[in-house]
């Protein structure tokens, strides 16, 4: 278990809609991928790097959706060549997340089909 493994989490592409709190604003946007370390949010809502993010979403489990709240900060801002916002890379703040939510996320990532 080297350093590289800790840094690069496997990203799982997903098609999920999340209710997000970006700073003090609320948006409903698509989550494009998920990993143990973060997620990618397709949003047009502007946010600065470091902005706190709370994401509530339902993870599709075979026995039914599991709701969890993921907490982190904006780590990357993605724009097209014209400067239009495409989305935000969010890095999780694991100390802010409950054990139940972490377990739901990790369990989902283990069973999610690796495409």
Sequence-distant (≥ 6) Cβ neighbours of residue 62 within 8 angstroms: 111
The CATH code of the domain at 3-111 is 2.40.10.220
Which region holds residue 86: left if phi is over 0, alpha if psi is between -120 and 50, else beta?
A: alpha
pLDDT digits (tens, 9 = 90+) for 17-53: 999 999 999 999 999 999 999 999 999 999 999 999 9
Decide: 17 and 27 in contact? Cβ < 8 Å. Answer: no
pTM: 0.89
Question: Where are the chain's structural domains?
Answer: 3-111
For residue 9 the two structure tokens come to: 């989490």
Task: Give CA–CA dist 90/107, Å, rounded.
Answer: 20
pLDDT greater at residue 3 or residue 107:
107
């Amino acid at each position: 278990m080297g350093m590289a493994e800790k840094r690069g989490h496997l990203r799982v592409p997903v098609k999920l809609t999340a209710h997000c709190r970006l700073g003090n604003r609320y948006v409903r946007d698509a989550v494009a991928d998920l990993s143990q370390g973060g997620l990618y949010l397709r949003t047009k809502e502007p946010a600065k790097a470091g902005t706190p993010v709370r994401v509530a979403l339902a993870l599709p489990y075979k026995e039914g959706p599991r709701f969890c709240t993921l907490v982190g900060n904006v780590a990357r801002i993605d724009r097209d060549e014209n400067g239009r916002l495409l989305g935000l890379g969010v890095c999780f703040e694991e100390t802010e997340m409950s054990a139940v939510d972490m377990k739901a996320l990790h369990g989902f990532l283990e069973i999610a089909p690796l495409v």
